[in-house]
């Protein structure tokens, strides 16, 4: 057994830039764990399937209002790889269509939440000691007092159940996490010399925040975003499990699981396959996120 | 074997990195006798730390010993099984590091860490809590730490840099050993403290009749503290001699270059640097690694690597100029 | 430490205030008429009007908030529109049930996760570690309700070893209510058989809940331990001759637990959130199930009350975790947990 003493290791401390050699290097770091590549492939597959859903699924009409009671509740077979549900709809098709809603929720939430959260975090961290910081961080604390799922549930519960509303609900509960993350990093970085240098040369606050501080925080933000795709989708599935998301007949993964739960254990495929689909999506983004973390990690011993 | 404590023969150590291997150690030959104080002098990155870490086998997992042997009191260190290895670390040799802050576990008190060493690094845990506490206090006191009783309950973050290094010294010498390895122990300390700490190390080592391997990039420090000096360059030893001899009769061009870098107190002459850069460890030249910068380089130097050979009384050099 | 603690508590109270305002605003922002929504489209207008008055919906919003706050302080959280009982009574009945599960879950999560993490770190890069990595991945990405379904299938139908519904077996009467927690109450009243029965009912929901956090704890512990293994002080301790086993179980463990414990606060909070899914599947009468039904039925009083209660619980959990972290890492006062 050898003891790991990476400090002083010759490879330590390379800075992050994006140019040809460094891109190859970045790929090397990313692919160090083959599972990350698996994650990348899985995510790509999910996205492709979702975009091309009407063209790649065997029964695209089943994703809408469709009933065929003769075929209802059939176990997995050659015609229906994952079986059919109680309305006779092909489960595989519905799962792939459900990916659409899931991805839309993930991307939608992150697109809204990340800029807002990051900007607030930057401002709060930079304005440390002022009233502005206190206000921002206390409000953030209030939103952080509850785990995202519960807050999203509460918000969602008082609105009409639609995909859009459940997205809004998740947004409300998700933004503070980015603020807190960026706030922490900004406050520790704000006293570094390069920030002081920029201040002394009269750089505008915009420049300091976005050109000096932010680039140093990018890595954890990206990692979190990648991982969050999976978690947001999971939260969305939990919401639709209870009936608070995309409404029928449009397919949603959580709804499919809760509908199918009634028919356990006899017609297990109705609930189990959507559940596995949820797991696969979250797993894919998790693996990808690990790879992103490896790729962006540049400190010694990371 | 006679009184040779540590013998390193033709040690090659490679580090696995993106794009290949860094061939850091390129045939190191090194000997320390019982009771001897040896300094290894060389610039940053030449492999001094890697060499000594190999003795205790605490290299990073990316490091591979591709050739060579290391003996401690006649035993083959590289072939040691875990119990023997642990015995080596517990009562044979110990080490103090360059950065005392990183070398101390931040969430345990000094007392905790020292007691642990006293209790477990021997071949079996013995002694009652009170006895061990007394031994710990004694260790702290010998390292010249103020108020040792109170110090036991302090955490490392409560201490200054100099005190932390003293704490490390206390830990390294808390139990009887035969060898102390000091890897640039004063580089990270204030200048005023450096002298104190070096003196402390020297005193303690001499008191206990221990051997010392001191790594430094300063010739001055080497001169003050050691009996014999090894000069290291780019992965192997280039010269070794008793301390006085090295300064009076430097043989290897690199040593000569180093000495001429030092401004003389008497003010005569101008301090010169050594032109050129250290070699690329990924694709090092096949011959002498100093050849590109050497004023006396020949074709032979470029093609083959000189052996580390004896050229006089206790004086060894790796240079074709001398054979 | 005492002063820091007081400061934290003060801050937490402020946060709870903010939360109450937030929840109140959300609850009242319902498009549509809460009273009508609660009673349904077929209820007569006078009934709706009565309810509207009862809920003070005619008053301006800040007065509504004030009245609600006053009620809160007096322990009156209004009546549930669904159960028609005072919400406080509902909470007193359902909260301990969920607390029981969460406590057991947290224990399983912590002990299981940390042990597995330590073992993974010890045998890192062996087959055990490889298997653990895959298994813990699966554990993290599997939602709690899926675990619940899996357990229900396995233990309810394939190997019917453990009960899958309710808190006690049919025919077993409840112990006298002291804390509301079945196992505790049974033990306190000296009835071991009842306690065992209640405990069995807890196992499946609690473990299903714990799986995600367990896997997470295992991963973080392992990562933290391998990270710290690269630190100089481990090299130093090895060089001093401390045996590796000892380093692993003491000198590596303590600093490595810090990130794990910090994340646990979140995971324990998440337990409450995920509890509703598990409670639904196991038909377990807990607070989360009550809360979900309140939300689906737009039972505003109940929703607000449940959120507030959960808020208090989480804030307390956070404070407790912070105390533990401060013990583990003497460099941090109570002032701040290192946020990773």
Residue C46, pLDDT > 50, answer: yes
B314 in any annotated domain: no
Token pair, residue B130, equals: 């009170």
204-263 of C, contacting A, C-beta below 8 A: 226-227, 229-232, 234-235, 238, 244
pLDDT in tens, C192-209: 777 777 788 888 888 888
Give yes or no for residue C334 having a pLDDT over 70: no
Determine, yes or no, domain membership for B207: yes
Which pLDDT does position A10 carry in this prediction? 45
Contact call for B24 and A3, based on CB within 8 A: no
Place of tokens 């499946």: C204
Token pair in block for residue C21: 């305002």
Nearest C-alpha neighbor of C258 from the set C102, C114, C79: C114
Class of residue B205 by CB neighbours under 10 A (exposed 0-12, middle 13-18, buried 19+): buried
Give per-residue pLDDT as tens, B208-248. 999 999 999 888 889 889 999 999 988 889 999 999 888 88
Q: What is d(CA C205, CA C144) in angstroms, rounded to the nearest whole number?
A: 9
Does A4 contact B102 at a Cβ distance shorter than 8 Å? no
Our CA-based measurement puts residue B238 at a distance from the nearest CA of chain C, in whole angstroms, of 28
Contact B12, B234 (CB under 8 A): no
- C233–B121 CB contact, under 8 Å: no
C44 touches chain B (CB under 8 A): no
Question: Which helix (DSSP H) or strand (DSSP E) does residue B239 occupy?
Answer: strand B236-242
Give Cβ neighbours of residue C60 (< 8 Å, ≥ 6 apart). Answer: none
pLDDT at A30: 81
Q: Check if A287 contacts C (Cβ < 8 Å).
A: yes
Alpha-carbon gap, residue B45 to B280, rounded angstroms: 11
Residue A33 has pLDDT above 90, yes or no: no
CB neighbourhood size of C108 (10 A):
18
Cα B174 to the center of its chain, rounded Å: 19
- Closest to A146 measured CA to CA, from A105, A111, A177: A177
3-class secondary-structure state, position C298? coil
What's the mean pLDDT in C36-62?
73
Question: Who has greater pLDDT, B181 or A146?
Answer: B181
Q: For residue C111, what are its two tokens?
A: 């002990």
For all residues of chain C together, what is the average pLDDT?
Answer: 78
Q: Quick check: C141 and A282 CB within 8 A?
A: yes
Any A CB within 8 A of C65 CB: no
Task: Answer whether residue B191 is part of any domain.
Answer: yes
Q: Which chains touch A (3 or more CB pairs under 8 A)?
A: B, C
Q: B120–C246: do the CB atoms touch at under 8 Å?
A: yes
**Residue A299 touches partner B, C-beta closer than 8 Å:** no
Report strand pairing: B236-242 vs B309-312: unpaired
Is any Cβ of chain B less than 8 angstroms from the Cβ of A1? yes
Q: Is residue B9 part of a domain?
A: yes
Distance (Å) of CA A206 to CA A123, A198, C229: 10, 11, 40
Across the interface, of A5, A150, A271, the residue whose CB is closest to C232 is: A5
pLDDT at B126 over 60: yes
Nearest to C280 by CA among C258, C296, C262: C296
The tokens describing C61, both together, are 């919003």
The correct answer on CATH 2.40.50.100 for the domain covering A26-57+82-296 is no
Q: What does the angle CA B20 – CA B22 – CA B27 come to, to the nearest 5 degrees?
A: 130
pLDDT tens sequence across C112-147: 999 998 888 878 778 888 888 888 888 887 888 888
The answer to whether B40 and B226 are in contact (CB under 8 A) is no
Flag whether B266 is in a domain.
yes
Asked whether the beta carbons of residue B18 and residue A28 sit closer than 8 angstroms, the reply is yes
Handedness of CA A77, A81, A83, A87 (dihedral sign): negative
Contact list, C258 vs chain B (CB under 8 Å): 107
Is the CB of B90 less than 8 angstroms away from the CB of C328?
Answer: no
Residue B265, classed as helix, strand or coil, is coil
Whether pLDDT at B285 is above 50: yes
Q: In chain B, which residues have their Cβ closer than 8 Å to the Cβ of A11?
A: 17-18
Interface test with A, best of B60, B77, B97, B281 (most A CBs within 10 A): B60
By 3-state DSSP, what share of chain A in percent is helix, strand and coil, each rounded to 5? Answer: 70, 0, 30
DSSP assigned state of C162: S
- DSSP for B43-104, written as a single string: -TTSSHHHHHHHHHT---TTEEEEEEEEEETTEEGGG--HHHHHHIIIIIEEEE-S-HHHHS
Interface of C with B in 304-333 (CB under 8 A): 328-331
Which residues in chain A are contacts of B51 at CB distance < 8 A?
none
Q: pLDDT (tens digit, 9 = 90+) per residue, A76-112?
A: 888 788 888 888 888 888 899 999 989 999 999 999 9
Please say if the pLDDT value at position A196 is more than 90. Answer: no
Question: Would the CA dihedral through A121, A122, A124, A125 be positive or negative?
Answer: positive
How many angstroms separate the CA of residue A40 from the nearest CA in chain B? 22
* Cβ-based contacts of C9 with chain A (< 8 Å): none
How far out from the chain centre does Cα A205 lie? 30
Distance from CA of A160 to the nearest CA of C (A): 8
How far, CA to CA in Å, does B302 sit from each of B140, B232, B291, C242, C251?
A: 52, 19, 6, 46, 49
Is the Cβ pair B60, A11 closer than 8 Å? no
Q: Is A160 on the interface with C (CB under 8 A)?
A: yes
Q: Write down the pLDDT at residue A18.
A: 55
Interface residue ranges in chain B relative to chain C, Cβ cutoff 8 Å: 53, 56, 58, 60, 82, 86-91, 93-95, 97, 99, 102-108, 113, 116-117, 120-122, 155, 157, 168, 171-172, 174-175
Asked if B135 contacts C311 with a C-beta cutoff of 8 angstroms, the reply is: no
pLDDT at C243 > cutoff 90: no
Whole-angstrom Cα distance, residue A204 to residue A14? 29
Which of the pair, B289 or C177, is modelled with greater confidence?
A: B289
Q: Do C239 and B58 touch (CB under 8 A)?
A: yes
Q: What is the mean pLDDT of residues A132-148?
A: 84
Residue of A1, A2, A4 to mutate when probing chain C, most C C-beta within 10 A: A4
Cis peptide bond prior to A265, omega within 30° of 0: yes
Asked whether the beta carbons of C95 and C77 are under 8 A apart, the reply is no
Arithmetic mean of pLDDT, A13-29: 67
pLDDT of C72 reads 73
> What's the first-to-final CA gap in chain B, in angstroms?
28
Residues 21-40 (C) with a CB less than 8 A from some CB of A? 22-23, 26-27, 29-31
Residue B74 lies in a domain: yes
Distance CA B116, CA A7 (A): 25
What are the φ/ψ torsions at residue B160 (nearest 5 degrees)? -80, 170
Q: Cβ contact (<8 Å) for A2 and B281? A: no
The more confident residue out of A261 and B199 is B199
Q: pLDDT band for position B8 (50/70/90)?
A: very high
Higher model confidence: residue B113 or residue C277?
B113
- Ranges of each domain in chain A: 26-57+82-296
Q: What is residue B161's three-state secondary structure?
A: helix
Out of B18, B22, B45, name the one closest to residue A25 (CB): B18
Cα–Cα distance for residue pair B91/B113, rounded to 1 Å: 16
Rounded Cα–Cα distance for residues A99 and B120 (Å):
57
Cross-chain residue pair C232–B105, CB shorter than 8 Å: no
Q: Quick one: DSSP state of residue A84? A: B
Task: Using a cut of 0.90, tell me whether the model's pTM lies above it.
Answer: no
pLDDT at B310: 86
Query: Touching check for C338 and chain B: CB below 8 Å?
Result: no
Whether residues A257 and C314 touch (CB distance < 8 A) is answered with no
- Taking contacts as CB-CB distances below 8 angstroms, the residues of chain C near A7 are 230, 232
Interface contact B86-C243, CB threshold 8 A: yes
The answer to whether the CB atoms of B116 and C238 lie below 8 A apart is no
Count of domains forming chain B: 1
Query: DSSP 3-state assignment of B107?
Result: coil
Residues of chain C in contact with residue B121, where contact means CB-CB under 8 angstroms, are 240-242
pLDDT band at A9 (very low <50, low <70, confident <90, very high): very low
Order across the sheet with B20-33: list the strands. B20-33, B4-17, B63-72, B75-76
- Return d(Cα C340, Cα C321) in angstroms, integer: 15
Q: Enter the tokens of residue B182.
A: 């000091």
Residue appearing with tokens 């990183």: B102
**Res B50 pLDDT > 50:** yes
User: CA torsion angle for B280, B282, B283, B285 (degrees, to 10)?
Assistant: 50
> Do the domain assignments include residue B186?
yes
Task: Pick the more confident residue, B265 or B275.
Answer: B275
Closest chain B C-alpha to C235 CA, distance in angstroms: 6
Please state the rounded mean pLDDT for residues C23-37: 68
Q: Please tell me which residue, C89 or A285, carries the higher pLDDT value.
A: A285
Per-residue pLDDT of B64-115, as tens digits, reads 899 999 999 888 998 888 888 888 888 888 899 988 888 898 888 888 888 8
Highest mean pLDDT among A147-161, C94-108, C269-283: C94-108
Q: Please determine, for residue B132, whether its predicted confidence score (pLDDT) is greater than 60.
A: yes
pLDDT band at C265 (very low <50, low <70, confident <90, very high): confident
Domain of B138, CATH number, reads 3.40.50.300
Q: Tell me the count of A-C CB pairs closer than 8 A.
A: 146
Interface membership of A21 toward B (CB under 8 Å): no
Residue B214 in 3-state DSSP? Answer: strand
B100 to chain C, closest Cα gap in Å: 9
Vertex C249: Cα angle to C243 and C254 (nearest 5)? 120
Nearest CB partner across the interface for B97, out of C236, C242, C258: C236
If we measure between CA atoms, which residue out of C269, C5, C275, C6 comes closest to residue A144?
C269
- Min Cα separation A286/chain B (Å): 25
Measured between CB atoms, does A95 come within 8 Å of chain C? no
Q: What is the mean pLDDT of chain B?
A: 86
pLDDT, greater one: C5 or B110: B110
Mean pLDDT, range C245-273, rounded to an integer: 82
Cis bond upstream, residue B91 (ω within 30) = no
CA-based nearest residue to A123, from A173, A178, A172, A168: A178
Q: What angle do CA B56, B60, B63 make, to 5 degrees?
A: 95
Q: How far apart are CA C121 and CA C228, in angstroms?
A: 10
Report how far apart the first and last C-alpha atoms of chain A are (Å, whole number). 20
Q: How close, in Å, is residue C262 to chain B by CA atoms?
A: 16
pLDDT at B299 > cutoff 60: yes
Q: Which residues of C touch B56 (CB under 8 A)?
A: 238-239
- pLDDT confidence tier of residue C30, bands split at 50, 70 and 90: low
C328 pLDDT band, cuts 50/70/90, is confident
pLDDT at A299 over 60: no
CA-based nearest residue in chain B for residue C247: B116
Residue C336: predicted pLDDT: 47
Residue B109 belongs to what domain range? 4-276
Lowest-pLDDT range of B57-61, C74-78, C148-152, C275-279: C74-78
Q: Does B241 reside within a domain?
A: yes
């Amino acid at each position: 057994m050898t003891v790991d003493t990476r400090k002083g290791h010759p490879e330590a401390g390379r800075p992050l830039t994006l140019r040809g050699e460094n891109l190859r290097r970045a790929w090397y770091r990313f692919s160090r764990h083959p599972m990350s590549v698996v994650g990348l492939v899985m995510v790509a597959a999910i996205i492709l399937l979702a975009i091309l859903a009407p063209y790649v699924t065997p029964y695209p009409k089943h994703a809408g209002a469709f009933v065929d009671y003769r075929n209802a509740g059939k176990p997995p077979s050659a015609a229906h790889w994952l079986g059919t549900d109680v309305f006779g709809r092909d489960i595989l098709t519905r799962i792939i269509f459900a990916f659409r809603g899931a991805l839309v929720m993930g991307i939608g939430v992150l697109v809204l939440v990340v800029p807002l959260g990051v900007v607030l975090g930057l401002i709060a961290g930079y304005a440390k000691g002022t009233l502005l910081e206190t206000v921002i961080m206390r409000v953030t604390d209030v939103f952080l007092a509850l785990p995202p799922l519960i807050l999203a549930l509460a918000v969602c519960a008082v609105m009409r159940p639609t995909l859009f509303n459940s997205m809004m609900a998740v947004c409300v509960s998700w933004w503070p996490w980015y603020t807190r993350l960026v706030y922490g990093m900004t406050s520790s970085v704000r006293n570094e010399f390069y920030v002081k240098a920029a201040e002394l040369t009269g750089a505008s606050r915009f420049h300091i925040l976005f050109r000096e501080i932010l680039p140093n925080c990018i890595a954890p933000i990206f990692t979190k975003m990648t991982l969050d795709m999976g978690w947001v989708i999971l939260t969305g599935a939990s919401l639709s499990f209870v009936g608070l998301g995309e409404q029928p007949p449009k397919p949603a993964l959580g709804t499919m699981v809760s509908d199918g739960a009634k028919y356990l254990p006899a017609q297990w495929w109705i609930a189990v396959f959507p559940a596995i689909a949820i797991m696969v999506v979250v797993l894919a983004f998790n693996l990808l996120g690990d790879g992103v973390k490896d790729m962006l990690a540049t400190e010694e011993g990371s | 074997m006679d009184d040779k404590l540590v013998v390193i023969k033709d040690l090659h150590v490679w580090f696995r990195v993106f794009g290949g291997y860094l061939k850091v150690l390129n045939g190191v030959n090194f000997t320390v006798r019982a009771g001897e104080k040896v300094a290894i002098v060389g610039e940053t990155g030449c492999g001094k730390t890697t060499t000594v870490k190999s003795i205790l086998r605490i290299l990073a997992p990316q490091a591979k010993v591709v050739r060579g042997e290391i003996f401690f009191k006649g035993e083959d260190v590289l072939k040691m099984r875990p119990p023997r290895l642990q015995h080596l670390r517990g009562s044979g040799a110990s080490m103090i590091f360059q950065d005392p802050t990183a070398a101390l576990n931040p969430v345990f008190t000094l007392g905790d860490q020292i007691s642990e060493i006293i209790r477990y690094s021997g071949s079996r845990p013995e002694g009652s809590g009170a006895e061990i506490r007394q031994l710990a206090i004694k260790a702290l006191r010998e390292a010249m730490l103020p108020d040792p009783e109170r110090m036991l309950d302090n955490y490392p973050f409560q201490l200054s840099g100099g005190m932390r290094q003293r704490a490390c010294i206390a830990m390294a010498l808390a139990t009887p050993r035969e060898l102390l390895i000091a890897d640039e122990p004063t580089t990270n300390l204030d200048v005023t403290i450096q002298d104190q700490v070096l003196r402390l190390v020297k005193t303690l080592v001499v008191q206990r009749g221990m051997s010392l391997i001191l790594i430094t990039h300063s010739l001055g420090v080497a001169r003050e503290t050691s009996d014999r000096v090894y000069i290291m360059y780019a992965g192997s030893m280039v010269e070794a001699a008793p301390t006085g001899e090295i300064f009076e009769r430097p043989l290897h061009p690199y040593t000569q270059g180093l000495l001429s870098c030092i401004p003389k107190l008497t003010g005569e002459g101008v301090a010169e640097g050594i032109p050129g850069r250290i070699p690329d460890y990924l694709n090092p030249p096949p011959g002498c690694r100093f050849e590109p910068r050497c004023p006396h380089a020949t074709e032979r130097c470029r093609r083959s690597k000189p052996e580390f050979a004896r050229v006089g009384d206790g004086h060894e050099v790796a240079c074709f100029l001398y054979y | 430490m005492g002063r820091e603690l007081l400061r934290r508590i003060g801050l937490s109270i402020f946060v709870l205030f903010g939360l109450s305002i937030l929840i109140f605003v959300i609850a009242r922002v319902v498009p549509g008429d809460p009273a009508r929504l609660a009673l349904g489209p077929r209820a007569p207008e006078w009934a709706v009007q009565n309810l509207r008055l009862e809920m003070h919906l005619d008053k301006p919003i800040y007065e509504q908030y004030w009245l609600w706050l006053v009620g809160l302080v007096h322990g009156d959280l209004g009546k549930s529109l669904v159960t028609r009982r005072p919400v406080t009574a509902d909470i007193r009945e359902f909260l301990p049930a969920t607390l029981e599960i969460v406590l057991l879950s947290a224990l399983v999560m912590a002990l299981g996760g940390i042990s597995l993490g330590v073992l993974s770190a010890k045998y890192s890069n062996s087959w055990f570690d490889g298997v653990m990595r895959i298994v813990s991945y699966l554990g993290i990405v599997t939602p709690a309700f899926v675990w619940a379904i899996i357990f229900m299938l396995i233990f309810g139908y394939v190997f019917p070893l453990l009960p899958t519904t309710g808190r006690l077996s049919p025919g077993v009467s409840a112990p006298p209510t002291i804390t509301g927690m079945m196992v505790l109450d049974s033990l306190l009243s000296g009835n071991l058989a009842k306690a065992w029965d209640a405990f069995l009912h807890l196992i499946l929901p609690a473990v299903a809940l714990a799986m995600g956090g367990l896997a997470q704890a295992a991963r973080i512990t392992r990562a933290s331990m391998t990270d710290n293994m690269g630190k100089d002080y481990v090299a130093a301790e090895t060089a001093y001759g401390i045996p590796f086993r000892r380093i692993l179980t003491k000198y590596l463990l303590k600093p490595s637990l810090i990130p794990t414990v910090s994340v646990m606060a979140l995971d324990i909070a998440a337990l409450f959130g995920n509890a509703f899914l598990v409670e639904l599947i196991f038909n377990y009468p807990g607070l989360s199930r009550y809360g979900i039904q309140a939300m689906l039925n737009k039972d505003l009083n109940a929703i607000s009350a449940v959120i507030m209660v959960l808020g208090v619980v989480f804030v307390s959990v956070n404070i407790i975790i912070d105390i533990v972290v401060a013990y583990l890492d003497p460099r941090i006062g109570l002032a701040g947990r290192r946020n990773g």
